[in-house]
Structure 1
Amino acid sequence: MPTHRLCAIVPVYNHGATVAGVVRSLRAQGLDTLLVDDGSAPDCATVLDGLVRTIPGTWLLRRRDNGGKGAAVLDGLRAAAGRGYSHALQIDADGQHALADVAQFAALSRAHPQALVCGAPIYGDDAPRARLYGRWITRVWVWINTLALDIPDAMCGFRIYPLAATLPVIDNASIGRRMDFDISIIVRLHWRNVPMVWLPTRVMYPGDGISHFHALRDNLLISKEHARLFFGMLGRLPLLLARRALRRTGA
């Protein structure tokens, strides 16, 4: 089995107007693409069926009910591993991520096959202020919960996962299943000392874009996840402090 075999995972929930462009760009760059339909409405489901039927190298995993972005990605990661892929690119269906950067992500992943390759977002004037403030709060909590400054942004869902390191985490921990997913998994991978490589990438917020972020519900979920991670960090405190000391001494 090849040491590096990459596919893309695209969680989809009623992104019928944008998902085709994302799929075509991924396929143009040679990536097999798994669409995870997270309980979309019939019109979007029809679009997905058409993409799978007409674009080779694209396949579909359909969830009966909407379970959240995290639930869709978790199912996709397991499905990718089951098909023999060693790495999986997570990317949004709404065109928010810079598809032109996919090749750089893939190259970094091939150069660092053990690493989680993460997008370090570059925001423009179109980014909602509330989202930026929320990310700063999350950044502080992630620094607390890892006892390190290694994660500049825990919420960007533009990543390549090394599946050999990721599957044990998702199979043995309670990972957030909605908008808390990206934070939940990256902190736990950091706890397991999975190396991380960061690539600056533009994140766009088009005026006509579809957002499934529910301010009250999802902020509560994220706050709850920060609390869970905090108590998880306390249980790992001796190990994390020892790792920090080793890093300071260069051992």
Structure 2
Amino acid sequence: MSIQKKEIRLCVIIPTYNNAGTIGKVVEDVCSHCQHVIVVNDGCTDNTSAVLEGFKSRIDVVSYGKNKGKGGALVAGFRRAMEKGYTHAVTIDADGQHFADDIPVLIKELENNPEGIIVGARNLNEENMPKGNTFANRFSNFWFRLQTGINLSDTQSGYRLYALNALHGLSLITSRYESELELMVYAAWAGVKITSVPVRVYYPPVEERVSHFRPGYDFARISVLNTVLCILALVYGYPRIIFRWLKRVAYTIFSFCYFLFMALELTIVGFFLITVGGATDEHKRKYHKILQKRARFVINRVPGTTFEYINETGETFEKPAVIVSNHQSHLDLMAIMMLAPNLIILTKNWVWHNPFYGLIIRYADFFPVSEAEEMTENIAGMVKKGYSVMIFPEGTRSADCRILRFHRGAFYLAEQLGLDIIPVFIKGFGDVLPKKGFSLHPGNMSVEVMPRISRDDCGGYREMTKKLHAMYVDKYNEAKSVNVIM
């Protein structure tokens, strides 16, 4: 099967306590963006229940008699959402300060953070923003950074998007406003990714504002909670964070040592097989088969990762072609070498001269890409022997794995040699080993072999360069996008 979009079933949760004046407009606006709305009636004593009755065919209402506070209402909403099979939930306040039109802004960020928490960060300098709220937010930001090491600009925003499996410690959540800080602290300790996006906010004039925040009492509660969380951070939170970091370092060191061992092994094998035994076609093919087996073994066993190989057309690589692929990581070379034994790869000069595996590259008759035009005859000779040629048309990698400009060399070579083109799409390698990173990260990697493009359908190399670049951009956008059912 081809790489599938991640399917997300999303609902919106609106906790409310005595917001009869605003809850109707909030529900109406939210329903225009999402069909799945859960309103938690947190023991309201005003006209809220009657307002919600007018929406009973469009929303799911969770009600109980005694007010539990915002923390209790959120937990009740999350549990109802999980019971109904939703994977994600947006929380929005019932007082009208948030704009439902910003729900798509939160959803867009799912492409970058599908399994974490996304906070709608407000502009704290907004007109009519209560000074007490500004102070409380900065106070909360400081404690959150101290407890988790994460810097967020708005830790008190109630406008958020949660992956429901990212919620931890729901049974420990306190009942009032500080619960939203707790949710993020527990998630951060569990390794959940927390990001933020800017959203708009409206604060009505003081005389129209409904607030259940009690400065003296609630600040005292928050201070006690933060003291407890700081103690827990020392004995539980930071040890977990440090353990995850040490685990990544251990994985990286192990992988690096194994890579060095494999490089040494392949260098020795190449020396005896090709230098001593003679650079015959038979020995070269045997060496390429060994390279393929080692690459396949390594790519399927990168610690903390999963790997999927997708080849729906059953491509065998027996008929020579020019293979092109997007470029994300140092691991990409392994991902390509595992495809077939009859491959020669055009690499950068520094790879060809690398002190660790340069000899392996040369034993395998890989060519430096800078000399491809001058060595077209040599490459053509390898093609006649049944080898395919592989090139990364981007030439380099972007930090965020976006598809960069394609160089024409691969497509010019295909035209000159009269070869088909086989596009290969790799995904997740840049997340596991980022361009500017030095340690391995957990993640899911995949290699998808796309349908072969016949030489007769290629057209001119300039046209093919543009066509393939557009195809890869579309493929990248498709792989990044999520299928949100709302």
| TM-score, scaled relative to structure 1 | 0.89
Residue of structure 1 in register with 2:51 after alignment: 47
- Residue pairs, 1:44-193, within 5 angstroms: 44-53=48-57, 56=58, 58-109=59-110, 112-123=113-124, 124-146=126-148, 148-166=149-167, 168-171=168-171, 174-193=172-191
Shift of residue 17, structure 1, vs aligned partner: 1.2
Unmatched runs of 5 consecutive residues or more in structure 2: 1-5, 250-435, 440-486
Which deviations, in whole Å up to 9, do the C-alpha atoms of 1:57-99 show, x marking residues without a partner?
x110002100101100100000001011001111001111122
In 1, the alpha carbon distance for the partners of 2:138 and 2:222 equals 13
1:102-157 alpha-carbon deviations (Å, 9 max, x no partner) = 111123235532121111111312111122112212211111111x1333322111
Q: Which among 8, 14, 17 is matched to residue 10 of structure 1?
A: 14
Question: What secondary structure, in the 3-state scheme, does the structure 2 residue paired with 1:135 have?
Answer: helix
Q: 1:164 to 1:199 in 2, by over 3 A?
A: same
Letter of the 1:203 partner, please give it.
V
Q: 1:149 to 1:250 in 2, by over 3 A?
A: farther
- Call closer, same or farther: CA 1:150–1:31 in 2, change over 3 Å: farther
Matched with 1:202 is 200
Contact in 1 for aligned 2:143/2:226 (Cα 8 Å): yes
Superposed displacement of residue 41, structure 1? 1.5
Q: Percent identity?
A: 28
Matched position secondary structure for 1:18: helix
Of 31, 34, 39, the match for 1:35: 39
Larger CA deviation: 111-120 vs 87-96: 111-120
Asked if the contact 1:139–1:153 (Cα under 8 Å) also holds between the matched residues in 2, the reply is yes
**1:179-232 CA-partner distances (Å, limit 9, x unpaired):** 111111111111111112211112222111211111112111111111111011
1:226 is aligned to 226
CA distance in 1, matches of 2:101, 2:192: 26
Secondary structure in 1 aligned to 2:115? coil
Q: State the superposition RMSD in angstroms.
A: 2.1
Q: Using a 3 Å threshold, how does the CA distance of structure 1 residues 20 and 216 change in structure 2: closer, same or farther?
A: same
Please tell me whether the aligned partners of residues 6 and 31 of structure 1 are also in contact (alpha carbons under 8 angstroms).
no
**SS across alignment from 2:80:** helix
Distance in 1 separating the partners of 2:226 and 2:35 = 34
| Aligned-partner residue type, residue 185 of structure 1 | L
What amino acid is aligned across from residue 69 of structure 2 in structure 1?
Answer: G
In structure 1, how many angstroms separate the alpha carbons of the residues matched to 2:100 and 2:52? 19
SS of the equivalent of 2:54 reads: helix
Distance 1:23 1:79, change over 3 A: same
Name which one, 1 or 2, has greater alpha-carbon Rg: 2
Structure 1 residue 240: deviation in Å? 2.8
Question: Against the structure 1 CA distance between its residues 225 and 52, is the aligned structure 2 distance closer, same or farther, given a 3 Å change threshold?
Answer: same
Q: Which has the higher contact order (CA 8 A, sep 6+)?
A: 1
